Amino acid sequence: MADWDKATVDARLVEAVRTARRLPPARVRGHFNAWPEIFREEWETYGVDEPVRRPMPPSPEAIDRMLETTRWMQWLEVEQRHLVWMRAKRYGWRDISIRFACNRSTAWRHWQRALQQLADHLNQRLVTR
């Protein structure tokens, strides 16, 4: 990337959230079930929920971009991290303003400031390389 701005940083954060959702669930190692799997008849499965269908796993390049993007979070304060990540997950401004106990426009300004801080830090890294 030549120059980072708030829009590209926001798009990268949204992509990181989408990639994280597509990852398989984490399993605790060492725990297993020794019981055999139960195969039910069709009439026995009536009323049982359908199995959860997950989208295809993300590509290795998408995972690398997600990991790079999550490393950016260490440049922000803890509250800014929560704000930026909630907005990347597409939470509404009402929910965000309730979480941070501030007005919607104040939350938006804090979000803009955090995105600009990330963009400035990324642009500074490009200059020093």
Q: Is the pLDDT of residue 82 over 80?
A: yes
In a domain, 113, yes or no: yes
In a domain, 35, yes or no: no
Q: Which pLDDT band holds residue 104 (cuts at 50, 70, 90)? A: very high
Instruction: Give the pLDDT of residue 47.
Output: 66
pTM, whole model, 2 decimals?
0.78
User: In this predicted structure, which of 41-45, 118-122, 123-127 has the lowest mean pLDDT?
Assistant: 41-45
In a domain, 17, yes or no: yes
CA distances from 64 to 45, 70, 98 (A): 41, 10, 33
Q: Is the pLDDT of residue 6 over 60?
A: yes
Average pLDDT, rounded, for the chain: 89
In a domain, 29, yes or no: no
Give the number of domains in the chain: 1
CA torsion 113-118-122-123 (nearest 10°) is: 0
In a domain, 31, yes or no: no
In a domain, 123, yes or no: yes
Domain of 126 in residue numbering reads as 1-21+55-129
In a domain, 42, yes or no: no
pLDDT mean over 18-45: 81
Q: Is the pLDDT of residue 90 over 70?
A: yes
In a domain, 41, yes or no: no
d(CA 45, CA 41): 7
Q: Specify the higher pLDDT residue, 47 or 60.
A: 60
Q: Is the pLDDT of residue 64 over 70?
A: yes
Q: pLDDT, tens digit, for every residue of 12-25?
A: 999 999 999 999 88
Neighbouring residues of 80: CB distance < 8 A, sequence distance ≥ 6: 110, 113, 114, 117
